[in-house]
Amino acid sequence: MKIRLKDNSVKEYPEGMSVLDIARDISPGLARAAMAGEVNGSTVDVRKEIHQDSDLNILTFDDLDGRKAFWHTSSHILAQAVKRLFPEAKLAIGPAIDNGFYYDFEVDRPFSTEDLETIEKEMTKIVKENLELNRFELPREEALRFVEEQGESYKVELISDLPEDAVISFYRQGEFTDLCAGPHVLSTGAVKAIKLLNVAGAYWRGSEKNKMLQRIYGVTFPKRSQLEEYLERLEEAKKRDHRKLGRELDLFSLQEEGPGFPFFHPKGMVIRNLLEDYWRKEHIKHGYQEIKTPIILNRDLWIRSGHWDHYQDNMYFTKIDDMDYAVKPMNCPGSMIVYNRKIYSYRDLPLRVGELGLVHRHELSGALHGLMRVRCFTQDDAHIFMLPEQIKDEIIGVIDMVDDFYNLFGFKYHVELSTRPEDSMGSEEDWDKAINALREALEEKGMPYKINEGDGAFYGPKIDFHLEDCLGRTWQCGTIQLDFQMPERFDLTYAGSDGEKHRPVMIHRVIFGSIERFIAILIEHFAGAFPTWLAPVQVKVMSITDRSNEYISRIMDDFLDSDIRAESDLRNEKIGYKIREARMERIPYMLIIGDKELENGTVAVRSRKGDLGTMGLNEFKTMLLKEIKDKAL
């Protein structure tokens, strides 16, 4: 059989060779580092035998899917340790996630910090035992009997939801066996460094109607040094936590009167307004028109859009004049109504319509997290209505726009293409057309992308942009969703060149995603030290003595006339104290005014990076205004 490797080289091997055998043939070092394999786009065990011509990628810890196989094994080690220490614990689920793993347990009492330390020690013992992980399969009925005998009621429920003819896979390590599709690494001995991070409550299957379970989060690495680096980054992330900095810098707050509904303070509004102003200017440049649609619309609209059937659990409802209404979770249906107010010709398309629309979505209280996960947020939505032949060019136009936005803040990013989910609307033919259009646009741009099977929106496939912050964390922000369904459901039409009515194709897209969440990411990315153009206060002017107060007043008037955001500090405090306080506020520039500066009409300048010396006021202003205009980082 012929095996095409990641570098496009092709090698011939006997049928039945495993992924690990091929890795050994390529390099003993690669075999030692192999966590899993990717065969024809599917992630598999390194034990997986290949019997036909295939594309093969050997996955190591450097690959996300390789790390996930490693962390999936780690979750089994965690579950085995818990069962050894707490035999009555019932197992729920234990997946790998993007930054580690977790496992959910039903136990009589919450796990304590001391429990986590004991569990971590037991995990270390299991690693030293170097237990081999072995996969086996059972027919559905035998699998049910097997987990029933173990007393694992949650596993019984999971298997019961599978089709009658399903073959169920398990993995065994020592005395421990778990229901699992895999993949896993070869043995527990691969895990060299372990850290259990925290424990939290989690409802079974995410429903507050179900029992609350105990979720233990952890992370593991093949090397101790990697764990140490990770823990350092974790400490840095705590210092950058947007909730902490939001309080310290007086940007926003979350109050008990409205859990998940953020309050923006004056300084937070400066940042928000600057982002929205930039958004508006760039969209005007790119041919967008701005609209505003109502927050509350009636039930009939949401039935027509499909949200009533596919998204109802995430929505809020009210009654007006004995009729059912919903608070909008998305802006798109309102945009459909705006489109339908008039008749368009093919010459009018593409039509690009943007909206900074406030939406509300029901989130469980346990899922709320600062500005990252809230119950109301503003989406920088836009909808593009176009001819079928315009699809690729419009997608490329959005990709270019997203690139400009993220580069402004210094973000790197990667792209994922998400395909049809199980709960979806529309024909297979429409979905195939939509997916191929997105794929062609990405390939024409030469952008590498990952396929995310089954993770599209219910009305269409999407391209997601995952930006990377200065700590290497990724955040999904921008998205481009191609939609053949909404125009059909809302009977959108345009007059074609043949004089007949035709159906437009539609793009849904966001760039910031959520203004609130994007601000949270910026706070953590910059650790509150925003670029000068985005800083709520750009300059703090400080007096050494009262004699300079009148001069400072003239400077402040000059800054106000020049649209420079400045504050003065005329308090009778030592200048060192004032400087330290301004630095804690992350203010980009500090001007210190004493007798010498008053006499010479100059300013002593400090930046966040250090002392810049004495300058003339106009010299400083010129430098500052250029930095603001250039939106320099």
* Structural domains in the chain (count): 4
For residues 547 and 615, membership in a common domain is answered with yes
Residue 534 belongs to some domain of the structure: no
Asked whether residue 250 is assigned to any structural domain, the reply reads: no
How far apart are alpha carbons 293 and 452 in whole angstroms? 32
Same domain membership, residue 335 and residue 278: yes
- 328 part of a folded domain: yes
**Residue 621: what are its φ and ψ, rounded to 5°?**
-60, -45
The residue whose two tokens read 């936590």 is 241
Distance of CA 184 to the CA centre of its chain: 26
The pLDDT assigned to 381 comes to 94
Residue 279: give its domain's CATH number: 3.30.930.10
Tell me which residue has tokens 């419009």.
Answer: 394
Q: Which residues are catalytic?
A: 332, 361, 379, 381, 383, 462, 508
The whole-number pLDDT of residue 432 equals: 87
Is residue 571 domain-shared with residue 444, that is, in the same domain? no
User: Which tokens go with 509?
Assistant: 């897209």
Instruction: Give domain status of residue 494, yes or no.
Output: yes
Handedness of CA 393, 395, 399, 405 (dihedral sign): positive
Nearest in space to 354 (alpha carbons), one of 284, 442, 441, 269: 284
SS3 readout for 240-293: CCHHHHHHHCCCEECCCCCCCCCEECHHHHHHHHHHHHHHHHHHHHCCEEECCC
Please indicate, yes or no, whether residues 216 and 322 belong to a single structural domain of this protein. Answer: no
Q: Is 173 exposed, middle or buried (0-12, 13-18, 19+ CB in 10 A)?
A: buried
Question: Which residues does 150 contact at the CB level (< 8 Å), separation at least 6?
Answer: 177
pLDDT at residue 411, as a whole number: 93
Q: What is the CATH number of the domain that holds 129?
A: 3.30.980.10
Same domain, 291 and 415: yes
504 upstream amide cis, omega within 30 of 0: no
| Residues 50-93 pLDDT 10s | 999 899 999 999 998 999 999 999 999 999 999 999 999 999 99
Q: Are residues 559 and 520 in the same domain?
A: no
Is 72 within a domain? no
| Domain match, 543 and 601 both | yes
Q: Is residue 75 part of a domain?
A: no
Q: Which helix (H) or strand (E) holds 441?
A: helix 428-444
| Residue 557, domain CATH | 3.40.50.800
Kindly state whether residues 443 and 320 are assigned to the same domain: yes
Rounded to whole angstroms, the Cα distance separating 103 from 119 reads: 12
Instruction: Please state, in angstroms and rounded to a whole number, the distance separating the CA atoms of residues 69 and 184.
Output: 5
3-state SS of 193-230? EEEEEEEEEEEHHHCCCCCEEEEEEEEEECCHHHHHHH
Residues 517 and 548 placed together within one structural domain of the fold: no
Residue 229 is predicted with a pLDDT of: 93
Say if residue 29 is in the same domain as residue 95.
no
Residue 233 lies in a domain: yes
What was the pLDDT predicted at 460?
84
One domain for residues 284 and 320: yes
Q: How far apart are CA 401 and CA 512, in angstroms?
A: 11
- φ and ψ at 117, to 5 degrees? -65, -40
Dist. CA 601–CA 554, nearest whole Å: 11
Distance of CA 452 to the CA centre of its chain: 14
| Domain around 48 | 2-60
> Per-residue pLDDT tens for 317-337?
999 999 999 999 999 999 999
Element of type H or E holding 521:
helix 515-525
The pLDDT of residue 103: 97
Which CATH number does the domain housing residue 26 bear? 3.10.20.30
**Same domain for 548 and 513:** no
Residue ranges in the chain modelled with pLDDT below 50: none
The conformation of residue 131, written as its DSSP 8-state character, comes to P
Which residues, in sequence order, are bridge partners of residue 505?
386
- Whether 70 is in a domain gets the answer no
Compute CA distances 115 → 210, 279, 538, whole Å.
25, 49, 48
Phi-psi region of 260 (alpha: psi -120 to 50; beta: other; left: phi over 0): left
Q: State the Cα angle at 277 between 274 and 283, rounded to 5°.
A: 140
Our CA dihedral for 516, 517, 519, 521, rounded to 10 degrees, sits at 170
